[in-house]
Amino acid sequence: MKLLIFLAVTLGTLVTGLDSVYSKKYYRLPYKHRSDHKECHCLNGGTCITYYLFSRINRCICPDRYFGIHCELDADSTCYTDNGENYRGMATEDECLPWDLPSVIRRGRYHADLKNALQLGLGKHSYCRNPNGRSRPWCYTKKGFTIQETPCNIEKCGRECGQRSISKYFKIVGGSQAEVESQPWVAGIFQNIRGVDHFLCGGSLIDPCWVLTAAHCFQTASKNPHNKSVYKVFLGKSRLNETDDKEQEFMVDNIISHPDFTDNTGGNENDIALIRIRTNSGQCAEESKYVKTVCLPEKNLYLRDNTRCEISGYGKQDYYDIYYAQRLMSATVNLISQTKCKYEYYDNIRVTDNMVCAGDPTWMTDACKGDSGGPMVCEHNGRMTLYGIVSWGDGCAKENKPGVYTRVTQYLNWIDSSMNAISTKSRFLPEPK
Cβ closest to ligand 4AZ, residue 325 vs residue 367: 367
Question: In angstroms, rounded to a whole number, what is the distance separating the alpha carbons of residues 128 and 294?
Answer: 23
Task: Give yes or no for a contact between 293 and 204, defined as CB atoms under 8 angstroms apart.
Answer: no
For the CB of residue 372, give the shortest distance to ligand 4AZ in the complex, in Å: 4
Task: Give yes or no for a contact between 335 and 303, defined as CB atoms under 8 angstroms apart.
Answer: yes
Residue 372 near ligand 4AZ by CB under 6 A: yes
CB-count burial class (<10 Å; 0-12, 13-18, 19+) for 371: buried
Binding-site string for ligand 4AZ from residue 308 to residue 347, where x marks contact by CB under 6 A and - marks none? ----------------------------------------
- Can you tell me which of 42, 122, 396, 422 binds ligand 4AZ, judged by CB under 6 A? 396
Residue nearest to ligand 4AZ (CB): 393
Sign of the torsion formed by the C-alpha atoms of 272, 298, 161 and 285: negative
For the CB of residue 374, give the shortest distance to ligand 4AZ in the complex, in Å: 9
Question: In angstroms, rounded to a whole number, what is the distance separating the alpha carbons of residues 342 and 349?
Answer: 8
Helix (H, G, I), strand (E, B) or coil at 346: coil
Residue 271 near ligand 4AZ by CB under 6 A: no
Q: Write out the binding residues for ligand 4AZ, residues 104-163 only, by CB under 6 A.
A: none
Residue 393 near ligand 4AZ by CB under 6 A: yes
- Can you tell me which of 237, 403, 408, 415 binds ligand 4AZ, judged by CB under 6 A? 403
Question: In angstroms, rounded to a whole number, what is the distance separating the alpha carbons of residues 334 and 387?
Answer: 12
Residue 390 near ligand 4AZ by CB under 6 A: yes
Cβ closest to ligand 4AZ, residue 43 vs residue 341: 341
Catalytic residues: 216, 271, 372
Question: In angstroms, rounded to a whole number, what is the distance separating the alpha carbons of residues 267 and 262?
Answer: 8
Residue 258 near ligand 4AZ by CB under 6 A: no
Cβ closest to ligand 4AZ, residue 62 vs residue 389: 389
Distance of CA 195 to the CA centre of its chain: 35
Question: In angstroms, rounded to a whole number, what is the distance separating the alpha carbons of residues 102 and 193?
Answer: 57
Cβ closest to ligand 4AZ, residue 201 vs residue 303: 201
For the CB of residue 409, give the shortest distance to ligand 4AZ in the complex, in Å: 20
Task: Give yes or no for a contact between 170 and 331, defined as CB atoms under 8 angstroms apart.
Answer: no
- Can you tell me which of 66, 210, 234, 392 binds ligand 4AZ, judged by CB under 6 A? 392
Residue 215 near ligand 4AZ by CB under 6 A: no
Cβ closest to ligand 4AZ, residue 174 vs residue 393: 393
For the CB of residue 368, give the shortest distance to ligand 4AZ in the complex, in Å: 5
Q: Write out the binding residues for ligand 4AZ, residues 350-369 only, by CB under 6 A.
A: 366-369
- Can you tell me which of 273, 371, 386, 408 binds ligand 4AZ, judged by CB under 6 A? 371
For the CB of residue 294, give the shortest distance to ligand 4AZ in the complex, in Å: 19
Cβ closest to ligand 4AZ, residue 172 vs residue 178: 172
DSSP string, 107-171: H-SS-TTSTTHHHHT-SSS---B-TT--SS-EEEEEETTEEEEEE--PEETT--TT--S------
Helix (H, G, I), strand (E, B) or coil at 340: helix
- What distances in angstroms separate CA 404 from CA 60, 172, 265, one per listed residue? 58, 15, 14
Nearest-10 Cα torsion for 7, 10, 15, 16: 140
Cβ closest to ligand 4AZ, residue 73 vs residue 368: 368
Using CB under 6 A as the binding criterion, the count of chain residues that bind ligand 4AZ stands at 11
Long-range (24+ apart) CB contacts under 8 A made by 424-431 are 424/133, 424/134, 426/253, 427/133, 431/282
Task: Give yes or no for a contact between 172 and 315, defined as CB atoms under 8 angstroms apart.
Answer: yes
- What distances in angstroms separate CA 252 from CA 8, 22, 115, 256, one per listed residue? 70, 74, 40, 11
Q: Which stretch binds ligand 4AZ (CB under 6 A): 50-58, 265-273, 325-333, 390-398?
A: 390-398
Residue 68 near ligand 4AZ by CB under 6 A: no
For the CB of residue 356, give the shortest distance to ligand 4AZ in the complex, in Å: 13
Neighbours of 422 (CB within 10 A): 19
Task: Give yes or no for a contact between 256 and 423, defined as CB atoms under 8 angstroms apart.
Answer: no
Q: Which stretch binds ligand 4AZ (CB under 6 A): 139-147, 157-165, 385-393, 418-426?
A: 385-393
Residues contributing to the site for ligand 4AZ (CB under 6 A) = 366-369, 371-372, 390, 392-393, 396, 403
